[in-house]
Structure 1
Amino acid sequence: MKNFYETYFGLQGKRAVVTGAGRGIGRAIAEAFTAVGAEVLVHYHSSEKSAQEVVETIQANGGKAWAAKADLTDSDQTKALFQQVEERWGSLDILVNNAGDLLQRSTIEDFSDELLDRVVKLNIYTAIYSCREAIPLLKKGKKASIVSVGSIAGHNGGLNGATVYAATKGAIHTFTRGLAKELAPQIRVNAIAPGVIMTDFHRRHSTEQGLEAIAGNTPLKRLGQAEDMAAAVVFLCSEGAAFMTGEILEINGGLWFA
């Protein structure tokens, strides 16, 4: 007989695709999934070495994982990725839309057409393309769910040249709520809205002084860690969250209301 934890918070036997899983939050989610019994496809675009390291780490810890490359801003490559999933697994239980990036900070006045196209495609197209290809497989899965990674910026508009990025994350929140209604009751759809998480994203796009200031203004007096996000995603995909869909789960140390 399964214990309470395995029944409500384990993912034993589940098969999951985590996009952008070669580093940061995606990597933490992939490793957390396998720690509670899921098998994971570690998707990457340009981070092949990092993705292979994730797979090796998971396998060394007794988990199951494999890696595959695709540019998810390209619908044909996205289709090909999920064809691999179908050939290998036949169905799918979990999709995590984690791929995305700010790319660079820029005011709207200086925002080029090329940058706009890249940011919108990277943060919105990737999620829509992935969902479109994954849904037929998820319909064949076991108590399937989708979790997308939004952002606190999707609520507050972002800071210091992140307005377009924030707008795309707001779109992800709205997409989540709409898709949840579209796919209910067969597939649950939720999202997380991370606050400032200490990954290479903020090491590239934020200053040390700025991060220290944010930590000081956060009620819990620290920045988030990728593992904080991974634990929440495991919960959303588990039976413990079986009556949750269309939710945007805030994980920001209280920064939202500070």
Structure 2
Amino acid sequence: MKTALITGASRGIGRATALLLAQQGYQIAVNFHQRESAAAEVVSLIHQQGGKAFSVQADIADEEQVVEMFRVLDQRGALLSALVNNAGILFQQTRVEQLSAERINRVFATNVTGTFLCCREAVKRMSFQHGGQGGVIVNVSSAAARSGSPHEYVDYAASKGAVDTLTKGLSLEVAAQGIRVNGVRPGFIYTDMHADGGEADRVNRLAPTIPMQRGGEPEEIAQAILWLLSDAASYITGTIIDAAGGR
């Protein structure tokens, strides 16, 4: 059975992706950092649907915890065929002139370094030269990488710009090793992350500025991720899909 590791899978886009991929026959490794009960709920829902899943705790900003997370997969005999780098953080809306080094470093440690580390460990298991059978990596970026997210989250936007560059560069490194690497750039999606930034109703406020006149649902992003993981996208690598309602 193919195994998909989804980071930050206890809520939002990660949760929706976990449930959708489980329906498609993947065994799901539900990564979480702090929300153990929410991760357990995702695992339970998958089991109720007749699927297979287990949770694995790790703060991806910590290299030792990332290594241990992948070791848990190895110990379970899970054949990793898909990695969805979804975990990401942001903080209170603010301008660049008010940012601290501590905040910037925390954002980059999770959103950039953590994504790099998960990619590294996945490649070691998927690539032909390491005895793997190939696989697919999908990095969840953000439309903020294009807009810069001024007055709100320039640090977060910059971290997602780095993820886009990683997606392109890694895709070229491992294209001949049976690994495809692509990305998805969600726009304004109804998730709890906006509350982390201090404005839970942010999507509704900005909906009139979106050409499609509405925010997106996590399930819509999950569908894009599923397609990139599937054989239907077998000749696509180094590509980033914008899923932002036209904005």
TM-score bin (small chain) = over 0.9
Structure 2 match to 1:121: 109
Identify which of 149, 155, 178 aligns with 1:164.
Answer: 155
Q: Is the aligned partner of 1:228 residue 2:220?
A: yes
Instruction: Structure 1: give runs of 5+ residues left out of the alignment.
Output: 1-12
Q: Secondary structure at the match of 1:211?
A: helix
Structure 1 window deviating more from structure 2 (112-121 vs 204-213): it is: 204-213
Do the aligned residues in 1 keep the contact of 2:30 with 2:39 (CA within 8 Å)?
A: yes
- Take 1:111 and 1:97, find their aligned partners in 2: how far apart are those partners? 25
Structure 2 match to 1:45: 33
- Take 1:219 and 1:90, find their aligned partners in 2: how far apart are those partners? 42
What is the CA-CA distance between 1:214 and the residue it aligns to? 1.9
Structure 2 match to 1:216: 208
Structure 2 match to 1:253: 245
What is the CA-CA distance between 1:47 and the residue it aligns to? 0.7
Structure 1 window deviating more from structure 2 (122-131 vs 88-97): it is: 88-97
Task: Within 5 Å, give how 1:190-209 maps onto structure 2.
Answer: 190-205=182-197, 207=199
Do the aligned residues in 1 keep the contact of 2:60 with 2:114 (CA within 8 Å)?
A: yes
Do the aligned residues in 2 keep the contact of 1:25 with 1:230 (CA within 8 Å)?
A: yes
Find runs of 4+ consecutive structure 1 residues off by over 6 angstroms. none
Structure 1 match to 2:139: 148
- Take 2:121 and 2:200, find their aligned partners in 1: how far apart are those partners? 40
Identify which of 79, 83, 89 aligns with 1:95.
Answer: 83
Structure 1 window deviating more from structure 2 (141-150 vs 31-40): it is: 141-150
Deviations 1:168-193, CA, capped at 9 Å, x for gaps:
00000010000000000310000000
What CA RMSD, in Å, does the superposition of the two structures yield over aligned residues?
1.5
Identify which of 225, 229, 238 aligns with 2:230.
Answer: 238
Structure 1 match to 2:3: 15
Identity of aligned residues (%): 39
Question: Normalized against structure 2, the TM-score is what?
Answer: 0.94
- Take 1:41 and 1:180, find their aligned partners in 2: how far apart are those partners? 23
Identify which of 57, 63, 67 aligns with 2:51.
Answer: 63
- Take 2:165 and 2:194, find their aligned partners in 1: how far apart are those partners? 24
What is the CA-CA distance between 1:14 and the residue it aligns to? 1.8
What is the CA-CA distance between 1:65 and the residue it aligns to? 0.3
Q: Is the aligned partner of 1:173 residue 2:173?
A: no
What is the CA-CA distance between 1:208 and the residue it aligns to? 6.3
**CA 1:225–1:90: 2 relative to 1, 3 Å:** closer
What is the CA-CA distance between 1:142 and the residue it aligns to? 4.5
Question: Normalized against structure 1, the TM-score is what?
Answer: 0.90
**Number of aligned residue pairs:** 243
Do the aligned residues in 1 keep the contact of 2:194 with 2:202 (CA within 8 Å)?
A: no
- Take 1:212 and 1:47, find their aligned partners in 2: how far apart are those partners? 26
- Take 1:18 and 1:105, find their aligned partners in 2: how far apart are those partners? 27
Deviations 1:66-87, CA, capped at 9 Å, x for gaps:
0010111111111011011111
Q: Secondary structure at the match of 1:158?
A: coil
- Take 1:36 and 1:129, find their aligned partners in 2: how far apart are those partners? 27
Q: Secondary structure at the match of 1:17?
A: strand
Identify which of 158, 167, 179 aligns with 1:187.
Answer: 179
What is the CA-CA distance between 1:114 and the residue it aligns to? 1.2
Q: Secondary structure at the match of 2:80?
A: coil
Instruction: Structure 2: give runs of 5+ residues left out of the alignment.
Output: none
- Take 1:129 and 1:200, find their aligned partners in 2: how far apart are those partners? 25
Q: Is the aligned partner of 1:109 residue 2:97?
A: yes
